[in-house]
Amino acid sequence: MLSELKNFNRNSASLDEMVELSAQARVAESEFSALGVDLPAWFEPTVSSLRREIKSKLQDAKAARLRELKARRATLATVDEKRTQIDKEIAELETATAE
C-alpha cells in the first residue's frame, strides 16, 4: 500500500482509485501515529497532492454536469416545471463549485 501511495500517478489513476488510496493513507497515518513512528518525508506531500487531485476531479465533474444542465435547459423553453427544476440544480451546482 505504501509503495502504491509513494508511486501515485495522478494521470493514470481513476477517482475511485484515488479515494481508496486516500483512505489507505489515513489508516497508515493513524498507525504511524499510534506506534510513535515518524511519517516518511515523502508521505505528507504525496497525500496532500492526492487529496488536491481528488478535489480537482470532483470540481471538474460538477462543472461538466453544470454545462450539461445548462445545455439541457436551453431545450426546455416550453416546459415550465422542468425548467424550474433545472434552474434549481444549476444554482446548487454553481454554489458548490464556487466553494
Mind giving me the DSSP string for 9-30?
A: -TTT--HHHHHHHHHHHHHHHH
Q: Does pLDDT of 4 surpass 90?
A: no
State residue 10's pLDDT score.
81
Q: pLDDT tens across 53-95, in order? A: 999 999 999 999 999 998 887 776 777 888 888 899 999 999 8
Sequence ranges of the domains in the chain:
2-98
Total-model pTM: 0.69
Alpha carbon 45 to its chain's center: 17
**Residue 66 in 3-state DSSP?**
helix
Average pLDDT over residues 9-18: 87
CA 74 vs CA 10, 59, 64, 83: distances in Å: 35, 23, 16, 9
Q: Does pLDDT of 29 surpass 90?
A: yes
